[in-house]
């Protein structure tokens, strides 16, 4: 049966493929593909886990205290039966053999299949046995996880995925679409260069970091699709319309043909835009506009150069810190990564933002019950850095050292207080002194502040006394101005870049920087939205930083714009109670 699911459009384009479900509550389970040669070893891991859990349950059962309630013994017997049950074991084995899933992924995939069968049972007693099955699978997963920890010391999820991807690509010619309840930004990063042609998640807002990474992958994606992971079944045919935020499940041949046509049109449009790569980014009235790239990893630099970015306006350094089970990268590792980014940009400037950990970018997956109540307002970004000066100094030294190899700007996230600015500058000086004392070379830096908190936007004048440049992080500025969690799909409809209060803060920050002859950039998602390019140009913005995938579409807008004529209109938009109504004007 064909049906559609509506979510939020986060990464443009059309993807058509078969669904691969990542079981929701167990996202902390490693998902990677094994090679055909590794199948026997993977099956062996499962057999061992089954035998161990069976022994464990039998021992529990045999050693039950005499006064234990009789139900306990019955439950353990049910669990024992389930471990031995062929429906589970054979199903899991075929996920490994036929699909090349790793053991944990195979277990959770089969759990999904069997759990659905339980859900459909009429007998309430049998339906409730689903919980038992989940517990048994948890036990197996825990055993496997323990085994992995003792056998291997390095987290190998990312490299394992990357290594296997190509082989899988060779082995399978059907495009795959990933469907999950939620994916952390680190998970998402893991899927870079993966086999998936599209992503769907139940949760997430348009500017959640998961959505941002999806966009940087340039793969159609829909987030906030509510119960997609419940409604879609393994192997269903899926169309993702990343422009409309719609997912079509099991499309009819007519719908499929229509979307295949749209997909080809989009490819043609891309090709057309790619011709603008070497065209200078200049408005009709000869205003130069700097189009910079946002990157997550040094390896993204070639993509930025490919689309003609004139530098990196935002290197989100926190991605070097995430998905490593809390182990922080040391100075050498960071220095090597920053240097790779600088050298990768071949002499163009690279703006490295100090680590922005916290909120929807935890260092590692924090179980929900351990998470802080209001992480977006908690120890995040510069607050996190200042709370651990040794960690922060390590990062500052690494960035200073990278600056000896090219043009580097340092960008500080989420500042609000004068005291934070002064502490940051003092630590930067201390980092220089430390490097001097060690005789390690470092280079000059321009330092900039992100304007992401309304307090910072209102204090732009004060900020400019300390900083060489400002960079407006509209994703957070909108979140904090409108009190809307950017990662929460239930309030996504209120997340409005065109709210008059947001526009006023953006306009005033740009005007203040210009008045003081300092440069100002927008590096939030607003900068990469071609429908907002004219407005930002009209407000005087001449520096935009965005995902490489957006650069050519924004350049097209720049080339068609007359910035001086847009200025009057932009002021009218900012002063209006309903700016959206004037946007088409
Ligand atoms: C922003 O807040 O706009 C920004 C660019 O930073 P991030 O999206 O990483 O929070
Ligand atoms: Mg931000």
Known catalytic membership, residue 209? yes
Show the domain range for 543: 282-582
Q: How far, in Å, are 276, 383, 418, 474 from residue 523 at the CA level?
A: 21, 20, 22, 7
Residue 276, domain member (yes or no)? no
Q: How far apart are CA 378 and CA 372, in angstroms?
A: 8
Classify residue 350: in a domain, yes or no.
yes
Helix axes 124-151, 86-99, angle to 10 degrees: 50
Q: Which residues line ligand 1 (CB under 6 A)?
A: 212, 314, 316, 356, 452, 473-476, 523-524
Q: Are 509 and 471 in contact (CB under 8 A)?
A: no
Residue 137 forms part of a structural domain:
yes
Specify if 472 maps to a domain.
yes
- Within a domain: 325: yes
Shared domain for 346 and 467, answered yes or no, is yes
Q: Are 55 and 82 part of one and the same domain?
A: yes
Residues 6+ apart with CB under 8 A from 254: none
Measure 475 CA to ligand 1 centroid, in angstroms: 5
Pair (329, 189) in one structural domain: no
Residue 261 domain flag: no
Among 106, 125, 145, where does a domain finish? 145
pLDDT, residue 446, reads 98
Ligand 1, atom nearest to 452 Cα? 2
The answer to whether residues 374 and 393 belong to one domain is: yes
354 and 456 fall within a common domain: yes
CA of 413 to the centre of ligand 2 (A): 7
- Known catalytic residue at 523: yes
Question: How many angstroms separate the CA atoms of 307 and 313, rounded?
Answer: 14
- Out of 189, 211, 452, mutate this one to test ligand 1's pocket (max ligand atoms within 8 Å of CB): namely 452
Each residue's pLDDT, cut to its tens digit, for the chain (585 residues) gives 899 999 998 888 999 999 988 765 454 677 788 889 999 999 999 999 999 989 988 888 887 777 666 667 777 888 888 888 887 889 999 999 998 998 988 988 888 888 888 888 877 777 777 777 887 888 888 888 775 433 222 222 222 333 333 333 334 467 889 998 887 776 666 666 567 889 999 988 888 877 887 788 888 999 999 889 889 988 899 999 999 999 999 999 999 999 999 999 988 998 999 999 999 999 999 999 999 999 999 999 999 999 999 999 999 999 999 877 778 999 999 999 999 999 999 999 999 999 998 877 877 654 444 455 788 999 999 999 999 999 999 999 999 999 999 999 999 999 999 999 999 999 999 999 999 999 999 999 999 999 999 999 999 999 999 999 999 999 999 999 999 999 888 898 999 999 999 999 999 999 999 999 999 999 999 999 999 999 999 999 999 999 999 999 999 999 999 999 999 999 999 999 999 998 975
Measured from the Cα of 473, ligand 1's closest atom is 3
Q: Say whether both 112 and 178 belong to one domain.
A: no
Q: Which atom of ligand 1 is nearest to the CA of 356?
A: 9
**Protein residue closest via CA to atom 3 of ligand 1:** 473
Would you list the DSSP string of 504-542?
HHHHHHHHHHHHTT-EEEE-SGGGG-GGGHHHHHHTT--
Q: Answer for the pair 23, 108: CB distance below 8 angstroms, yes or no.
A: yes
Question: How many structural domains is the chain composed of?
Answer: 3
Structural domain contains residue 411: yes
> CATH no. for residue 135?
1.10.274.10
Same domain, yes or no, for 127 and 204?
A: no
554 with 501, same domain: the answer is yes
Q: Are residues 179 and 312 in the same domain?
A: no
Is pTM beyond 0.85? Reply is no
Are residues 416 and 324 part of one domain?
yes
- Choose the catalytic residue: 31, 405, 523, 547: 523
Phi then psi for 518, rounded to 5 degrees?
A: -110, 155
Whose CA is closest to atom 9 on ligand 1? Answer: 316
Q: For residue 457, give the nearest of 506, 490, 422 by alpha carbon.
A: 506
Same domain, 457 and 546: yes
pLDDT at 306: 95
User: Which of 112, 145, 178 is the last residue before a domain boundary?
Assistant: 145
Report which bound ligand comes closest to the CA of 474: 1
CATH number at residue 545: 3.20.20.60
Q: Give dist(CA 140, CA 214) in Å, integer.
A: 31
Neighbours of 267 (CB within 10 A): 12
Same domain, 332 and 399: yes
> Ion ligand 2 — residues with CB under 5 Å?
452, 473, 476
Task: Identify whether 14 is part of a domain.
Answer: yes
Catalytic residue among 31, 79, 209, 547: 209
Q: In angstroms, what is the span from residue 207 Cα to ligand 1's centroid?
A: 8
pLDDT score, position 367: 46
Domain CATH code at residue 198: 3.50.30.10
């Amino acid at each position: 049966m064909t049906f559609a699911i509506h979510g939020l459009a986060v990464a443009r384009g059309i993807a058509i493929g078969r669904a691969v479900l990542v079981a929701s509550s167990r996202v902390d389970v490693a998902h990677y593909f094994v090679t055909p040669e590794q199948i026997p070893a993977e099956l062996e891991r499962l057999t061992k886990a089954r035998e161990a859990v069976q022994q464990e349950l039998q021992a529990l059962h045999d050693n039950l205290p005499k006064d234990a309630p009789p139900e306990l013994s019955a439950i353990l017997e049910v669990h024992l039966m389930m471990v031995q049950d062929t429906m589970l074991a054979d199903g899991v084995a075929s996920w490994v053999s036929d699909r090349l899933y790793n053991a944990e992924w195979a277990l959770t995939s089969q759990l999904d299949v069997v759990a659905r069968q339980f859900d459909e049972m009429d007998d309430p007693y049998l339906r409730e046995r689903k919980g038992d099955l989940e517990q048994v699978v948890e036990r197996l997963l825990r055993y496997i996880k323990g085994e992995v920890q003792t056998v291997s010391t390095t987290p190998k999820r990312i490299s394992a995925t990357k290594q296997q991807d190509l082989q899988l690509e060779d082995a399978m010619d059907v495009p795959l679409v990933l469907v999950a309840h939620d994916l952390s930004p680190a998970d998402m990063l893991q899927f870079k260069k993966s086999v998936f042609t599209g992503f769907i998640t139940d949760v997430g807002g348009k500017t959640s970091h998961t959505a941002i990474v999806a966009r940087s992958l340039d793969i159609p994606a829909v987030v906030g699709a509510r119960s997609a992971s419940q409604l879609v079944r393994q192997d269903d045919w899926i169309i993702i319309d990343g422009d409309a935020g719609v997912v079509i499940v099991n499309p009819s041949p007519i719908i499929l043909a229509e979307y295949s046509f749209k997909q080809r049109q989009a490819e043609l449009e891309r090709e057309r835009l790619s011709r603008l790569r070497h065209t200078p980014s200049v408005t009709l009235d000869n205003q130069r506009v700097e189009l910079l790239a946002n990157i997550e990893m040094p390896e993204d630099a070639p993509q930025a150069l490919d689309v003609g970015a004139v530098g990196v306006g935002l290197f989100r350094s926190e991605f070097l810190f995430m998905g490593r089970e809390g182990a922080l990268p040391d100075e050498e590792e960071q220095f090597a990564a920053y240097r790779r980014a600088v050298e990768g940009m071949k002499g163009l400037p690279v703006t490295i933002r100090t680590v922005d950990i916290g909120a929807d970018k935890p260092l590692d997956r924090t179980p929900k019950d351990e998470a802080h109540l209001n992480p977006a307002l908690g120890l995040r970004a510069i607050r996190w850095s200042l709370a651990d000066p040794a960690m922060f100094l390590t990062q500052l030294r690494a960035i200073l050292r990278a600056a000896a190899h090219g043009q580097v700007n340092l960008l500080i996230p989420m500042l609000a207080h004068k005291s934070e600015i002064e502490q940051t500058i003092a630590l930067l000086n201390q980092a220089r002194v430390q490097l001097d004392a060690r005789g390690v070379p470092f280079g000059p830096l321009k330092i900039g502040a992100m304007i992401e908190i309304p307090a910072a936007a209102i204090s732009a004048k004060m900020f400019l006394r300390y900083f060489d440049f400002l960079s407006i992080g509209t994703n957070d500025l909108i979140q904090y101005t409108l009190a809307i969690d950017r990662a929460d799909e239930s309030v996504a409809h209120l997340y409005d870049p065109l709210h008059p209060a947001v526009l006023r803060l953006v306009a005033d920050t740009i005007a203040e920087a210009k008045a003081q002859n300092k440069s100002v950039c927008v590096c939030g998602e607003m900068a990469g939205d071609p429908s907002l390019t004219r407005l930002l140009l009209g407000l005087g913005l001449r520096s935009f930083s965005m995902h490489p995938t957006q650069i050519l579409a924004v350049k097209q807008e720049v080339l068609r714009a007359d910035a001086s004529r847009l200025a009057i209109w932009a002021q009218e938009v900012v002063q209006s109670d309903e700016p959206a109504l004037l946007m088409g004007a």
